[in-house]
């Protein structure tokens, strides 16, 4: 029997045979594609030390990587280095607050009446009592003002008092920060709008028109607790002075340009909340005396109250937006709930450090606050990564961490990246950190902690230049680039490539 061969197949076979005389005999090696040898990815991936060298991050870099199921440390570079964690501290604060207070804990802000209520007249004092809610805002304060009216009270014969004694009163989270830094406001048990006031300026016929208000989604009440004046100068940009019950600011005209806005910190948060509440109550026809501070244990009848969101959601916002005030307030609330007598942030942070030593096996954690704003705090990457691995097993932290998007060389988000990252960032001048979880492209999950700091460069920054010191932004950019390169390396090394 003769097989027929099509002309097309014949030509293809002829061409292939003519291409190499070697194919006339048996092939010397298999023509099938070879599988990559075991460990190929590990050999191909750049070493961690090489990545650090290429990144050009001055100072110290320490990292540790662990398997979340076993807790085994897979690799590290200077994992025992004690470095500033910056806002990575907030991850520990979240664990501290969740274990102490519980995920469903809610903070209560109350409006209390002390005295007889007759025919809509309160013959006594009205007290606005803070309960440590870091997210309390002007909208919530407006609800309380409406609640006062709905309770049938239309006149108050006594004093209007404000009480923030639920937490210690602290003038600034980190006093070495610039006075105008909105991320370092005062701390109190009664907080409003993250203890910040909105400053806006616009060019006017002569100079600038300026406003200070307590804006929120629904309201924009002006405030009298904070005042600002435009001064004919170039520097300093801002000056601050406390005068009685007022925060008094000046701003340099040479820095205002064509208009703009920013949030300035509030140093007297209880009086700030009282000032705004008076305005909102007046809109309901209820006239109150100027607020006065109340330091005692509040007593009286609750006529209105506001519940915060559950703590889990408050912490989710804290970890996403890195709100320092939230970290300090929930951290101090947790210390107080544990029965620790605290008067300062440092005392509360010491209590959290002691808890981390025992509960998280972090014996070298030495924290000066709950937010990481203070540059004197220290952590070790290896201890932190073990704590994160344990937290994953309890599944309390990872669900509320922020999704970190990987970026290309031009800073654009990489779409369809093979791995996902949930982590907490941390940034100070010449300090950068990233810690959390990476899910590799094969589904394996690892915990990691990367801390970098150039302490000499940080110490050399003059006090007047701490907001935007020369070289700090470039340094942080390099540190963040290194963090991403390390994560990509781990996907190459520890995912199953088959």
pLDDT digits (tens, 9 = 90+) for 390-402: 988 788 999 999 9
The 10 Å CB-count burial string (b at 16+, else e) for 413-425 is: eeeebebebbbbb
Q: Specify the 3-state DSSP secondary structure of 16.
A: helix
Per-residue confidence (pLDDT) for residue 72, from 0 to 100: 93
CA distance 22 to 11: 19
The per-residue DSSP string of 141-152 comes to: HHHHHHHHHHTT
Task: State the 10-residue block means of pLDDT for the chain, 498 residues long.
Answer: 37 36 37 45 74 96 96 96 98 97 98 96 98 98 98 97 97 95 97 98 94 97 97 95 95 95 98 98 97 94 98 98 98 98 97 98 98 98 96 88 86 81 97 97 96 97 86 96 96 76
pLDDT by residue (tens digit) across 283-322? 999 999 999 999 989 999 999 999 999 999 999 999 999 9
The answer to whether 393 and 68 have CB atoms below 8 angstroms apart is yes
Those residues with Cβ within 8 angstroms of residue 83's Cβ, 6 or more apart along the chain or in another chain: 60, 62, 378, 379, 380, 381, 431, 433, 451, 452, 453
pLDDT of residue 281: 98
Structure tokens at 120: 């809509």
DSSP line for 309-370? PPHHHHHHHHHHHT-HHHHHHHHHHHHHHTT---SSHHHHHHHHHHHHHHHS--TT-B-SSS
Task: Indicate the DSSP class of residue 378.
Answer: B
Which pLDDT value is given to residue 44? 59
- Residue 37's pLDDT is 47
Sheet of 238-243: strand order equals 226-231, 246-252, 238-243
Residue 415 pLDDT: 79
C-alpha–C-alpha distance, residues 446 and 450, integer Å: 13
If we measure between CA atoms, which residue out of 359, 166, 162 comes closest to residue 268? 162
pTM: 0.90
């Amino acid at each position: 029997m003769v097989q027929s061969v099509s002309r097309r197949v014949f030509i293809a076979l002829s061409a292939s045979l003519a291409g190499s005389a070697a194919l006339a005999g048996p092939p010397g090696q298999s023509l099938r594609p070879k599988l990559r040898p075991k460990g190929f990815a590990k050999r191909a991936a750049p070493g961690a030390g090489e990545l650090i060298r290429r990144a050009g991050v001055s100072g110290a870099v320490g990292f540790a990587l662990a398997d979340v199921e076993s807790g085994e440390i897979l690799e590290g570079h200077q994992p025992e280095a004690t470095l500033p964690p910056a806002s990575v501290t907030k991850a520990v604060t979240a664990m501290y607050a969740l274990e102490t207070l519980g995920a469903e804990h809610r903070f209560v802000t109350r409006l209390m009446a002390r005295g007889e209520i007759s025919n809509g007249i309160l013959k006594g004092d009205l007290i606005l009592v803070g309960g440590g809610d870091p997210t309390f805002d002007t909208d919530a304060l407006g609800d309380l003002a409406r609640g006062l009216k709905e309770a049938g009270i239309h006149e108050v014969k006594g004093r209007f008092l404000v009480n923030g004694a639920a937490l210690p009163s602290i003038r600034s989270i980190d006093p070495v920060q610039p006075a105008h830094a909105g991320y370092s406001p005062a701390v109190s048990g009664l907080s409003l709008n993250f203890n910040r006031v909105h400053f806006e300026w616009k060019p006017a016929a002569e100079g600038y028109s300026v406003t200070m208000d307590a804006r929120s989604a629904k309201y924009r009440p002006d405030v009298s607790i904070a005042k600002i004046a435009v001064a004919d100068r170039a520097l300093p940009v801002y000056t601050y002075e406390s005068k009685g019950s007022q925060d008094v600011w000046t701003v340099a005209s040479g820095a205002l340009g064509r208009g703009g806005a920013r949030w300035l910190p509030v140093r007297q948060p209880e009086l700030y909340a009282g000032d705004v509440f008076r305005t909102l109550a007046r809109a309901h026809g209820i006239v109150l005396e100027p607020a006065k501070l109340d330091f005692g244990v509040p007593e009286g009848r609750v006529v209105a109250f506001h519940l915060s969101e559950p703590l889990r959601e408050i912490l989710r916002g804290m970890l996403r937006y890195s709100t320092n005030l939230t970290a300090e307030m929930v951290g101090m609330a947790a210390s107080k709930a544990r029965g620790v007598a605290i008067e300062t942030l440092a005392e509360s942070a010491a209590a959290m450090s002691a808890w981390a030593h025992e509960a998280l096996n972090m014996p070298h954690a030495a924290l000066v606050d709950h937010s990481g704003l203070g540059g004197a705090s220290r952590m070790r990457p290896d201890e932190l990564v073990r704590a994160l691995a344990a937290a994953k097993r309890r599944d309390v932290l990872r669900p509320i961490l922020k999704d970190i998007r990987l970026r290309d060389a031009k800073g654009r988000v990489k779409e369809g990246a093979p791995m996902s990252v949930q982590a907490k960032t941390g940034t100070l001048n010449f300090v950068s950190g990233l810690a959390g979880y990476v899910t590799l492209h094969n589904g394996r999950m690892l915990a990691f902690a990367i801390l970098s700091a150039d302490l000499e460069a940080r110490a050399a920054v003059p006090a007047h230049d701490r907001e935007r010191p020369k070289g700090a932004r470039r340094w942080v950019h390099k540190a963040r680039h290194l963090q991403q390169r390390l994560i990509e390396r781990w996907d190459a090394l520890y995912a199953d490539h088959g």
